Amino acid sequence: MTEQFSRRDFLKLAGLGAATTAILTGCGPASRYVKREPYQQMPEYNSVGQSTYYATTCRECAAGCGLVVRTYQGRALKTEGNANHPLNLGKTCARGQATLHGLYNPDRVQAPSTGDWDSAIQTVADALKNYKPGEVAFLMGMAPDHLFDLVSDLANATGMNGPVRYGALGMFEARATLSKAAENLFGQAGLPWFDLGGAQVVFSFGANFLETWLSPLPYTRGFVGLREGETKLRGTFVQFEARMSATGAKADHWVPVRPGTEGLVALAIGKLASELRGGAMPRVFSSVNPAEVAESAGVELEALHHLAEMFVNFNVLAIPGGAALGQSNGLEIAEAVLALNALSDNFGKPGGVYLSALAPNQTETSRPASAEEMAAFVEKMKSGAIKALFVHGVNPVFELPAALGFKDALANVELFSFATFPDETAAEAKHVFPDHHGLESWGYQRVATGVSLPVLSGAQPVVSPFYDTRATADVLIAAAKLAGGKFAEALPFADEVEFIQSKVGALMSEASGSFSAADAATFMAYFQQYGGWFKNADALIAPDGSGVLNGNVKAAEPEFAGEGEFFFVPFVSPTLAEAGANKPWLQELPDPTTTVMWNTWVEINPETAHELGLQNDDMVRIVSEAGEVEAYVYLYPAIRPDTIAMPFGQGHTAYGRYAEKRGANPADLFGVHFNEAGDLAFGGMKVKVEKVRAAQSGVGLARLESRIGVYGEALGEEH
Amino acid sequence: MTNAIPEVKLAEEHVGKWGMVINQDICTGCQACVAACAMENNITFVGEEDSGYGRSMHWIRIERFWEGEYPEVKMTPNQPMLCQQCGSAPCEPVCPAFATVHSTAESLNLQVYNRCVGTRYCANNCPYQVRSFNWRDYERPEPLPNQFNPDVTVRRRGVMEKCTFCIQRIHKAQDEAKSEGREVMDGEFTTACAQACPATAITFGRTDDPQSLVSQLAHKGHGVKHLEELGTLPSVTYFKGG
C-alpha cells in the first residue's frame, strides 16, 4: 500500500468490506505496524476495552492455515482460526494456539550479532559481492513462500544457487516418496490428497493424518466426515502400523503389522479382494502370496480375508504414510498402497485419491529436499563448493539427522542465520541476523494441500516487532542495493511489502477469485483483510490411474540396518512437532496416547519390558548403528513386542530455556540409508535396548495419567 | 424449625442454562482445546516437576484409558473432561468461604478467586477431578505476560481455579446483545475450546433453548452424563459413538 493511502482511509474501506468484526490490515510504510503502547495511552484506532482483530497466516508449520489474532493495545492476546479461510475454516491446532508463546518467548534473538542493522546489511552485501555466485547457497524452511520467491528471483538473476528447502516434518512425511510414487503410478508427480470425508472405509498404512501429517486440520475435517457424514453410515477406519499412533487410536481396527511389510499386506489384501470379486487377477497383485505375507507381517491370514471382504461391499480408500514410507522399501510401499485404490476405482473421484491443487501463483508442484538431496548439499559444503550459507526458517543442526554431518560441514562455510530463536544452527553461526516472529511478519504462503481450491494465504504483522529484529526480505533487498549491479537489478523494491505487492498484484487479473478490486492498493488491502486470496474453482487434479492394475509394483522384503533385536519406530510428537519445544504450554500438553509432558520416552510393550526386567520410568539406552540416546521407559500396551518407539521433538542443546537439555533426539540414532525416492529410511533400522538405571522415587516422566490413573483405577491417588 | 429441602430440577429445566455437548467419537485427542483454554484463560504452566506431581493446571484435559491387552488392545474414545458446571455441585456446600458458589442467573458454578482461602475442600469433593490448585506462584518470565487476556483474572498462589465456561465471553456477548436490545443468538459466540476444536467435537450453547444446536444435539442420541448417579446434574453431555 502506498503512503497516499493512509490507515485512516483504509479503516473506512474496511468498515464497508468486513464481514464480521472488522479485521484490519497493516498499511503503508508510515504506519506499517501497530505500535505497542502503555495501557493508559491508546493508539488512534483503539478504544478502551475494544479489541482489534487481524487476519494472518500461521507459521507453526507450512500448511498455511489462516488465523485471526485478537490484539489489544498493540499486544497479541489470542489466536483463532480464520473462518473465511478455505483450508482451516476457523479452526486451529494446538500449535497454532501456542504460537503466542513463540512471539512472547523470553528466549528470542533480540538484536543482530553485529550490534546494529547497518553493519549487518553491509556484512550480507559483502558476502553477496565477494563470493562467487555459485559459492552462495540458501537453505530455507518450508515456510514462508514469499521469501522463497524473493530468494529464487535473486538467485535466477545472479547465478547463485537456487534456494533449497528442508524441514524435519517433510522428512518424516517422506514427501519425495509420495510424489515419486504418484509419478510412477500416474505418470504425474504431485502431492496426493485423500478425500477421507467421502470414503466409506479408510485403510491407513501408517499415515498419522490426525497429528502432524501434511495438513492435519483438513484431514481432521475429513475424518469427521468419515464418521459423521449425514448421507451415509458411520465409516470404518482401519490402521496398519506397528505402534498405535494417536491417529491409529481412533481406528476401529488396529492391525499391528511388522514394520516394512505394509506394502506386502496391501498387495495381499488386493489379491484376496480380487479373488472374491472373481474375473482375471490384476497383474499388480498377481505375484504376491497372501499366506506368506500373513506369516511375514505377523497377522492372521483370516484377518486379511476379513479386510479384503470390505472391498466387495464398500469403497475403500487406502492411504500410505508415516513410518511405513521411511523404510528401505518405502517407495514400493507407497506404490502398493496407492495401487490398492484401483480396486475401488476411486482415482479423482469423491472419497478417493487426488493430486493436490496448485496454488494461485504456482506453475508446477514443488516439494522440500529429500534427505538424499540434503546429503548432496552437505557434500557440497564439505568440498568447498558452497562457501557462504544463508539459513532461514529451518534449524538443520537439529532437524537433519546427525549422521549426515551437517554440523561438521559448517566449519567450511561462513554461516548466516536468520533465526528468530537461538536454535542450534544459530549457535553455530558466525552471523545471526534475527527475522521477526511470524506474527510480526509480512508474507504469503501457498497452500500445498488440504483444500480443493487454489489458495494463497496472506500474512501481515498483527503487532509491531518486539525486539530489534528485521525482516530477512528487507535485509536481502537492502544488501542487494548495497552490493549493486545485478543484485540491485534483481530486487528493485523499496522493501518487503513492495515485493509482496508485486507478486500478489499479479493475481488481480485472475477471474473468479474470492475478491477482486479495481486498483492494486485496494486489492492488497483486501488481501490482508481476508488473510489471503483463493480461486473459487475446484482445482484438484484427477490422477490417471488407468494403468495401475496392470502395472508392476515390486514388493521386496525391507532391509534393516543395525544389529539390535528391536524394530525402531520414530514418530513426530503430535503436540510439539519439529519446532514446538520452546513453547512452554506445548511442553505441558500431554501427549495424546501416553499423556507424557515435558520429556522424551521410549515406548515398550509391557510383555517385552517384563522380559527385559524393565519398568515404567527406568532409564534405558537405545543403541543403533549410528548412535545412542537415553530416555525413560514408558510401558505402552499398543505396540508390537518386537518394536520400540520414540517421539521426535525434544533433545535440544539450544533453543531457549524451555527446550534446552530436555529429553532426547531419536534423529541421533538415524543412519544414512535412503529409500528409492531418496527419503531417509528412518524406520529401517534395528536397535538394542540397554538398561541404564532403575526408576528412582521422584524422578521420571511427568504424566497426566498420574492424576487419573493408567487404567482409571487409581482415580484420586496422590502421586 | 423446618428447613425445606430445595426442589431438585432436571438440568434442562434451569432457565438461562449454558451447556455443552462433547462427541467422543470424533474427538481426536489433539489437545487444541487444552491449548486454546490455556491461552484464553491465563492459565499458568507449572513445569515438569510439578506436572509430575499432578499439579498441572489444565482446566480441560483429554482422558483416555486402555482396554484389553496386545494385540486386542484398544484405546477408549478420547474423553475431554472439564468442569461439568453441575446443577447440584458437590464442590459448593463444602466451601467455608463461599468462594465456589452457584449462579442462579446462569446456572453456572462460579469460582470467586478473591474469596478463596485455599482449603481445597472443593477439589477433594469434586468427583470429576477438574479443579486445579495454585500450589505456587509459577514464574511466567517477561515478556510472556504480554499475552494475558485482560478479561480474565490472573490467579496467584493458594487459589483454586477451574473451567468457567469462558464466562468472560458469555458476559461480553450478553452485554453486546443488551446494548442492541436483543437476546444472545445461538452460535454468536462460543467457548475457547469449542472454537478451536478442529473436529467440531465440542458444542456450546443454551440448553434451555430447544432450538439451540446444543439442545438438539443433546437430545439426538444416546448421550450420557458422567457420574449422573451422584445426583450432580452435570451440564455436559457426552456421546461415545462407535
pLDDT per position as a tens digit, A186-208: 999 999 999 999 999 999 999 99
Contact A706 B54 (CB under 8 A): yes
Q: What is the pLDDT of residue A365?
A: 86
- Asked if residue A560 lies in contact with residue A684, where contact means CB atoms within 8 angstroms, the answer is yes
Query: How does residue A44 score in pLDDT terms, banded at 50, 70 and 90?
Result: low
Residue with cell 527419503: A679
**Predicted confidence band at A483 (pLDDT cuts at 50, 70, 90)?**
very high
Measured between beta carbons, which residues in chain A are less than 8 angstroms from residue B31?
94, 574-575, 589-590, 592
Are residue A340 and residue A462 in the same domain, yes or no?
Answer: no
Residue A665: which CATH number? Answer: 2.40.40.20
Instruction: Flag whether residue B222 sits within 8 Å of chain A, measured between CB atoms.
Output: no
Is the Cβ pair A100, B39 closer than 8 Å? Answer: yes
Cα separations (Å) of A184 from A179, A230, A367, A557?
Answer: 9, 36, 16, 20
What's the pLDDT at A47? 60
pLDDT at A338: 96
A101 & A181 share domain = no
The pTM of this model reads 0.92
Query: Nearest CA of chain A to the CA of B7: how many Å?
Result: 31
User: Is B149 in the A-facing interface, judged by CB distances under 8 Å?
Assistant: yes
Amino acid identity of B231?
G
Average model confidence (pLDDT) across chain B: 91
Nearest to A256 among B71, B148, B195 (CB): B71
CB A218 within 8 A of CB A185: no
Within a domain: residue A652? Answer: yes
Q: What would the grid cell of residue A429 be?
A: 553461526
pLDDT single digits (tens) B143-198: 999 999 999 999 999 999 999 999 999 999 999 999 999 999 999 999 999 999 99
Q: Which of A355, A370, A391 is the last residue of a domain?
A: A355
Residue A177 shares a structural domain with residue A259: yes
Looking at residue A262, what is its pLDDT? 96
Q: What is the percent of chain A with per-residue pLDDT over 90, rounded to a whole number?
A: 85
**Within a domain: A138:** no
Distance CA A678, CA A178 (A): 11
Q: Is the ipTM of this structure higher than 0.95? A: no
Is the CB of B31 less than 8 angstroms away from the CB of A588?
Answer: no
Q: What is the mean pLDDT of chain A?
A: 91
Chain B nearest CA to A479, separation (Å): 31
- Give contacts of B 178-207 with A, CB under 8 A: 192, 195-200
- From the CA of A350, how many Å to the nearest CA of chain B? 20
CB within 8 Å of A103: residues ≥ 6 apart: A76, A437, A438, A439, A440, A463, A466, B147
Q: How many CB atoms lie within 10 A of CB A104?
A: 23
Q: Which of A72, A92, A234 sits opposite B196 (nearest CB)?
A: A92
Mean pLDDT confidence for A2-23: 42
Q: Do B71 and A93 touch (CB under 8 A)?
A: no
Contact A244/B73, CB-based, under 8 Å?
yes
Comparing A531-535, A592-596, B222-226, the range with the smallest average pLDDT is: B222-226
**Per the CB < 8 Å rule, is B241 touching A227?**
yes
Domain final residue pick, A339, A355, A371: A355
Contact A91 B32 (CB under 8 A): yes
Is B25 close to A227, i.e. CB distance below 8 A? yes
Indicate yes or no: CB of A100 within 8 angstroms of CB of B147.
Answer: yes
Question: What stretches of A250-289 show up as alpha helix (H) in DSSP?
Answer: 262-277, 283-286
Tell me the pLDDT tens digit for each residue of A96-115.
Answer: 999 999 999 999 999 999 99
High-pLDDT (> 70) share of chain B, %: 93
Contact A588/B146, CB-based, under 8 Å?
no
B120 SS3 class: coil
Among candidate residues A308, A338, A355, the one where a domain is terminated: A355
> How close is the nearest chain A Cα to the Cα of B117, in Å?
22
A528 and A570 inside one domain:
no
How near does any CA of chain A get to the CA of B122, in Å?
A: 14
Residue at A527 is within a domain = yes
* 3-class state of residue B189 by DSSP: coil
Q: DSSP letter at A20?
A: S
Pair A269, A314 in one domain:
yes
**What pLDDT digit, counting tens, does each position of A431-447 carry?**
999 999 999 999 999 99
pLDDT classification of B85: cutoffs 50, 70, 90: very high
Domain shared by A253 and A310, yes or no:
yes
Average pLDDT over residues B72-79: 94
Contact B26/A at CB under 8 A: yes
Residues of A in contact with B145 (CB under 8 A): 104
Domains and CATH numbers, chain B: 11-239 (3.30.70.20)
Residue in A94, A221, A710 closest to B34 by CB: A94
What is the structure's pLDDT at A229? 75
Interface check for B147 against chain A (CB to CB < 8 A): the answer is: yes
Question: Does B46 sit within 8 Å of A246, measured CB to CB?
Answer: no
Neighboring chain A residues of B176 at a CB cutoff of 8 Å: none
Nearest CA to A330 out of A559, A543, A169, A578 is that of: A559
Single-letter amino acid code for the residue at B111 = Q
Separation CA A147–CA A29 (nearest Å): 19
Q: What distance in Å separates the CA atoms of residue A316 and residue B148, rounded to the nearest whole number?
A: 47
- According to the model, what pLDDT value does residue A36 have? 58
The pLDDT score that the predictor gives to residue B5 is 59
User: A92–B66: do the CB atoms touch at under 8 Å?
Assistant: no
Question: Does B36 contact chain A (CB < 8 Å)?
Answer: yes
Best of B132, B146, B195 to mutate (most A CBs within 10 Å, chain A): B146
User: What CATH number has the domain bearing residue A62?
Assistant: 2.20.25.90
Is the link from the previous residue into A368 a cis peptide, with omega within 30 of 0? Answer: no
CB contact under 8 A, A589 and B31: yes
Domain assignment of residue A549, yes or no: no
pLDDT in tens, A413-431: 999 999 999 999 999 999 9
Beta bridge partners of A55: A68
A641 secondary structure, DSSP code: T
**Residue from the list A93, A598, A712 with its beta carbon closest to the beta carbon of B48:** A598
Reference A665, options A640, A629, A692, A708; nearest CA is: A629
Q: Which three cell numbers stand for residue A297?
A: 507381517
Contacts of B40 in chain A (CB under 8 A): 78
Cβ distance of B66 and A637 shorter than 8 Å: yes
Q: Between B66 and A19, where is the model more confident? A: B66
Mutate to test the interface with B, among A250, A594, A697 (most CBs of B within 10 A): A250
**Same domain, yes or no, for A324 and A177?**
yes
Same domain, A225 and A302: yes
pLDDT of residue A2: 41
pLDDT per residue over A346-359, tens digit each?
999 999 999 999 99
Is the bond leading into B80 cis (omega within 30 degrees of zero)? Answer: no
**B217-237 average pLDDT score:** 91
What cell does A174 get?
517422506
Chain A nearest C-alpha distance from B55 (Å): 8
Cβ atoms of residues B173 and B163 within 8 Å? no
In the structure, what pLDDT confidence band is assigned to residue A27 with cuts at 50, 70 and 90? very low
Candidate from A217, A247, A702 with C-beta closest to B198: A217
Domain that holds residue A583: 566-708
d(CA A606, CA A262): 24
Instruction: Output the pLDDT for position A233.
Output: 86
Residue B4's pLDDT is 59
**Interchain CB contacts (distance < 8 Å): A and B:** 202
Q: Render pLDDT for A76-101 as a digit per residue (tens, 0 to 9).
A: 999 999 999 999 999 999 999 999 99
Q: Does A373 fall in a domain?
A: no
- pLDDT classification of A6: cutoffs 50, 70, 90: very low
Number of domains into which chain A is organized: 3
* Domain CATH number, residue A285: 3.40.228.10
pLDDT digits (tens, 9 = 90+) for B17-50: 899 999 999 999 999 999 999 999 999 999 998 8
Which whole number is the average pLDDT over A361-367? 88
Does A526 fall in a domain?
yes
Residues A214 and A332 in one domain: yes
Q: Which among B56, B141, B197 is the nearest to A704, CB-wise?
A: B56
Q: Would an 8 Å CB–CB cutoff place B72 in contact with chain A?
A: no
Same domain, A646 and A591: yes
* CB-nearest partner of B69 from A95, A103, A637: A637
The per-residue pLDDT for B182 is 93
Q: Is the dihedral of CA A355, A360, A362, A368 positive or negative?
A: negative
pLDDT exceeds cutoff 50 at A480: yes
Q: Within 10 A of A145 (CB to CB), how many other CB atoms are there? A: 28
> Do A94 and B31 lie within an 8 Å CB cutoff?
yes
| A617 is a domain residue | yes
Residues A448 and A597 in one domain: no
* Closest chain B C-alpha to A651 CA, distance in angstroms: 15
Q: Are residues A527 and A650 in the same domain?
A: no
Is A580 part of a structural domain of the chain?
yes
Sign of the alpha-carbon dihedral angle for B85, B87, B93, B99: positive
User: What string of DSSP letters covers B144-190?
Assistant: GGGG--TTSPPP-TT-EE---SSHHHHHHHHHHHHHTTSPPPTTS--
Distance CA A504, CA A499 (A): 9
Q: Are strands A601-604 and A619-623 parallel, antiparallel or unpaired?
A: unpaired
Contact across the interface for A91 and B34, Cβ inside 8 Å: no
Q: What pLDDT shows up at residue B6?
A: 57
CB contact under 8 A, A104 and B147: yes
Please tell me which of the candidates A78, A599, A662 has its beta carbon nearest to residue B39: A78
pLDDT exceeds 80 at position A20: no
Question: How large is the average pLDDT for residues B123-128?
Answer: 95
